[in-house]
Amino acid sequence: MKLILNSESMQFQAASSFEARLDKDGVHRRDKSGGTNLPLWAVKLVAWSDADAEPILVTVPVADPPKVSQGQYVSVERLQAMPWVQNGNSRVAFRAKTVVPTNGAVGKPGPAPSN
C-alpha cells in the first residue's frame, strides 16, 4: 500500500544537503522497489504547515541530486509515507519522486533567532 501525502498546503525548507544512502557495507543503495535502479539520496527537510513544523528525512531516487543549502525552500513531488516497526519501535520513513530547489519562493518564516 502506498500512502501518498497531500502536501499542497505545506512549505518545505532544506535543513541539509543531500547525502548518499549507504547499506551496512558502505555501498550506495539503489532504488529497487521503485524500479528505476537509480542511486538513493536523502535530504533533511523542515515541513511547515499552518499549525506546526516537523523535521523529516526524505529519500529520493536520482542520478545526480540538486544542490540545496540550509534554509532554502524546495518543492517536493509525490511525498510518500512508509510506516514500519522494528524491535517494537514504530517509525515513518518518507520518500519522494523529486525534491528540487524553488527559485525565490516566499514561504513560512523560520523561528526567530534567540538572543
| 22 inside domain | yes
Whether residue 64 contacts residue 40, with contact meaning beta carbons closer than 8 Å, is answered with no
Answer with the residue of higher pLDDT: 9 or 105: 9
Which pLDDT does position 50 carry in this prediction?
A: 87
Which pLDDT does position 104 carry in this prediction?
A: 55
| 70 inside domain | yes
| 57 inside domain | yes
Q: What angle do CA 102, 104, 107 make, to 5 degrees?
A: 80
**What is the average pLDDT value for the chain, to the nearest integer?**
89
| 115 inside domain | no
- Grid coordinates given for 87: 524491535
| 83 inside domain | yes
* Full DSSP string of 24-82: TTSPBPB--SSS--PBEEEEEEEEE-SS-EEEEEEEEE-SSPPP--TT-EEEEES-EEE
| 108 inside domain | no
Which pLDDT does position 1 carry in this prediction?
A: 67
Number of neighbouring beta carbons within 10 Å of residue 45: 25
| 106 inside domain | no
Provide the number of structural domains found in the chain. 1
CATH of the domain at 73: 2.40.50
| 95 inside domain | yes
Cα–Cα dist 22/40, whole Å: 8
Question: Cell 499552518, residue?
Answer: 50
Which pLDDT does position 18 carry in this prediction?
A: 97
The boundaries of the domain holding residue 10 are: 3-101
Instruction: Give tens-digit pLDDT for 24-57.
Output: 999 999 999 888 999 999 999 999 988 899 999 9
